[in-house]
Chain A
Amino acid sequence: MSNAPFVLLLRAQLRQRLGLSLVRQQLRERPPGWWKGLGVGAVAAVGIGGLVGMLVWLVWALGRTLSSVGIARLLPLMGLAVGMAGTLVAGMGFLLGVLYLSRDAEALAALPVTGRTVFAVKISQAFLGEAVTSIPLTWPMFIIYGILTKAGAFYYAKAFIVWLCALSLPLTLAALVSLPLMRWSALWRRRDLVAVIGGLALMVGFVAGEIWLTSRLTVLIDGGLLLRWLIGRVDLFDRIARAIPPVWLGYRALTVGGASSIGYLAGMAALSGALSAATLWLAGKIYQAGVSAQSESHMRASRAVLGGRAFRRRSPLLAVTIREAKLTLRTPVYAMNTVTIIIIMPVMLLAMMLVGGSGVDPELDALINLLTRFFNDPWMIAMVSAALSMVIGCLNIAASTSVSREGRMYAWSRVTPVPYGTLAMGKMLFSLVLAWLLALLMAVSLGVSMRLPVAGLALGFALSLPAMVPVTALQLAVDIIRPKLLWTNPIEAVKQNMNSMLGSLAALAYSAILIVPTALLLVRGHVPARAMYMAQCPLNAALAAAALVALKRRAGIWYSRAEI
């Protein structure tokens, strides 16, 4: 094993991040309850395995259909586009966390290694983290294309290199953009605000740009129509791919045969290498300054005004809610990982309409009209929009990382003379406000992008209010039961926290139990949508009340079990 500073530092950071030493010690000593971690891991693996299995089945079905009309090559193109877009969006928050907001930033700055080495170690961690996420997004399409075209080992070797480049390119691009952003933000007193707004703006910009480039790939529901639409536009995909050079190079490296594919592969690798070199060069110049500036003191010189409203008294419940809001919104990593989902989804819907949806393509317009006609009943719209909000709400990690985000400050929850149930309700209220905001933004964006009637969307939002309560409570419960409190980097509390996944899985399972029978009754049972809506309202209200009561009661037991 090399003793180069990069290798030593990366090994130490990975051991710390993944808790490898702790796992080894637990396996060696087997203290009481050591097997619980394995059980939780198994549950998560089964949940994720189910989702990946479903995705593979869908890709297989799509691949066979595309192959039957001779356009199977769209599969690797989709894999590349989805994988790179996912890495870009998810990697932005990750990078800000590992590069600038780690608690070990000062300790690392004092080590006799260059800022460039520290940067390379940090970005390598982001690379490894995003690689895990990218596998299910990219490899099913690569492998199924390989199977359908009976490709040999050479194809899979090329696919591996393309995948590495497809991971590296968006991450280095995000790093390249974040370097000047964080250096620039350090010049401002409210640097966290600048970082949050700048990061969100970049993310929204990336997503909007991606949608613009792939606007012709918006969601369609009719299989036959989709196929006719795809066949008629194969050249268009080539043009879109050509507009994004890395996607084009990777796409061509995988889909053309012989020596020319080597040229495209070499081009992609060279582009990736050049961007990495440029990023490392820039990092050597400004990374350390950006990091150290984050911990610089910016105190107000003026004396605090202590009087009047400065000492307003609040109830413990409200105090906890307000503290949650301030800490989340003022910490860039938390803001980007919890507020993002609220903003990104509506932005995507709006972007579809503004840059490539209605009005641009007559056939797309026809499809939107088809959808609108299908959902011409406002009660039906209400239930579909509420279900959509619920499902997207399941992906928000604000509640499922709420306790973990406290880290060492969790000790205060044990010290303060406030019942644990009240503390849980304070966190619940904040997470719920975010969930309701998401439902509201979804309703607005659906109305604007798909021109759905306001009455139906308003009814849907009303139904979302109670429907979001159990979803949020489930996510919060997961984090109260087993919070991840020991971390050096806030990104570990959110993105690298298994609770975010377990919370989403639990909430999705609950949502499926509620939504699937309802959908079956509506579509197959021909139950009138209005009657179903009227039944859903009291049912969801009762479930919401039950969830709140259960959470408040059980929080006392769960809180008292967790220790730091």
Chain B
Amino acid sequence: MLKLENVSKRYARGNVRAVDGLTLEVRGGEVFGFIGPNGAGKTTTIKLVTGILTPDEGTVTVGGAPLDKDPIAAKRMVGYVPDAQDAYDRLTGLEYLNFMCDMYGVSSADRAARITSLSERFELAAALNGIVKGYSRGMRQKLALIGALAHNPPLWILDEPMVGLDPRAAHVIKRQMRAHCAAGNTVFFSTHVLDVAERLCDRIGILQKGKLIAVGTLDELRSGETGASLEKVFLELTGDEAAGDWDE
């Protein structure tokens, strides 16, 4: 569903190689978690996959459509939730969702059904006529989630989706991610919450200094260490020498 081949990105102003020769394939029907320390290149990778940034080298393919050659077809398959809860804050929630649906060419009937269903599931229906500026952080996150799902994308990309959500909303989104995959779709998300990654992901990729240092199922990452937590695996792989000191 999503394929990155030798993708690199250097930020011109900082002279920093944020993503370095990244090769990765995310298969259809799986939840793929992307973890790594701060500044590892997770958000840059997601921006490269969604077309916000253009790779200096390498190619990104979404559902067989190369992002550089057929960007419209590739983007049409993606539903993206950014990390900053940014939304057009002078629009109402409903105006925002309608705008997103217009951009993705969702019919009136389909958008009515999906927006109604999703807004009730995320308990946002009562606030949809309010201006986004007045929304709380969690409400903005819910709005972005609904906007990204309204066109029922085969690939759902989320950057730190649990940030700012209350426990109930976090539970709803985790269920939604699993349900999305169960319907044959793919979820690709980044997170710092290792418990979430451990419980939710079919496979996990660990990124450090722009390079993918490990990828696989949790068992594969444990590489024989029976019962080791993802946290321990993560700390060992990312070279935290203090990991042992914190071990229970």
Contact = CB atoms under 8 A, between A and B. Distances in A.
Contacts of A303: 125-126
Contacts of A563: 52-54
Interface centre among A310, A318, A419 (most CB of B within 10 A): A310
Given A304-B128, A417-B76, A563-B53, A31 B90 contact: no
Contacts of A31: 12-15
B129 A304 contact: yes
B80 A415 contact: yes
Nearest to B74: A417
Nearest to B124: A304
Given A416-B75, A419-B72, A310 B94 contact: yes
Contact of B112 (A33, A307, A314): A307
B52 A415 contact: yes
B90 A306 contact: no
B134 A331 contact: no
B115 interface: yes
Query: Chain A interface secondary structure, helix, strand, loop or mixed?
Result: loop
B215 interface: no
B75 A417 contact: yes
Nearest to B127: A299
Nearest to A420: B71
Contacts of B12: 31-33
A312 B108 contact: yes
B90 A411 contact: no
Given A32-B12, A304-B129, A416-B103, A313 B108 contact: yes
Interface stretch (A108-116, A319-327, A445-453): A319-327
Interface string B33-71: 000000000000001001111100000000000000001
Nearest to B50: A415
Interface string B100-122: 11111111110110011001000
B84 A408 contact: yes
A418 interface: yes
Contact of B134 (A297, A318, A408): A297
B216 interface: no
A408 B86 contact: yes
Contacts of B86: 408-409, 411
Nearest to B71: A417
A508 B78 CA distance: 42
Contacts of B103: 316, 319, 416-418
Interface string A538-564: 000000000000000000000010011
B200 interface: no
A298 B103 CA distance: 28
B104 A26 contact: no
Nearest to A313: B108
Given A313-B106, A319-B103, A331-B90, A299 B130 contact: yes
Contact of B90 (A33, A326, A417, A564): A326
B91 A326 contact: yes
B102 A313 contact: yes
A419 B54 CA distance: 16
B88 A564 contact: no
A304 B75 contact: no
A305 interface: yes
B64 to A, nearest CB: 15
B13 A311 contact: no
Nearest to A414: B52
Contact of A414 (B50, B91, B105): B50
B140 to A, nearest CB: 12
B98 interface: yes
Nearest to B86: A408
A186 to B, nearest CB: 13
Contacts of A302: 126, 129
Nearest to B13: A31
Nearest to A564: B52
A416 B106 CA distance: 13
B21 interface: no
Interface in B124-150: 125-131, 133-136
B149 to A, nearest CB: 14
A29 interface: yes
A416 B52 CA distance: 10
A306 B119 contact: yes
B110 to A, nearest CB: 9
A315 interface: yes
Nearest to B91: A326
Interface string A179-199: 000000000000010000000
Nearest to A563: B53
A300 interface: yes
A482 interface: no
Interface in A400-424: 408-409, 411, 414-419
B111 A311 contact: yes
B129 A300 contact: yes
B160 to A, nearest CB: 15
A330 interface: yes
B115 A409 contact: no
A298 B134 contact: yes
B240 to A, nearest CB: 30
A192 B90 contact: yes
Nearest to A323: B99
Contacts of A307: 112
A26 B134 contact: no
Contact of A26 (B13, B75, B90): B13
A313 to B, nearest CB: 5
Given A296-B134, A304-B94, A418-B103, 6 more contacts: A311-B112, A316-B103, A318-B102, A319-B103, A415-B51, A417-B105
19 contacts: A33-B12, A300-B129, A306-B94, A312-B98, A314-B102, A315-B102, A316-B102, A316-B105, A323-B95, A326-B91, A408-B86, A411-B82, A411-B86, A416-B75, A416-B104, A417-B104, A419-B72, A563-B52, A564-B52
Interface of A: 26, 29, 31-33, 192, 295-307, 310-316, 318-319, 323, 326-327, 330-331, 408-409, 411, 414-419, 560, 563-564
Task: Rank and list the top 4 A-B pairs by shortest CB-CB distance, nearest first.
Answer: A319-B102, A417-B75, A297-B134, A304-B128
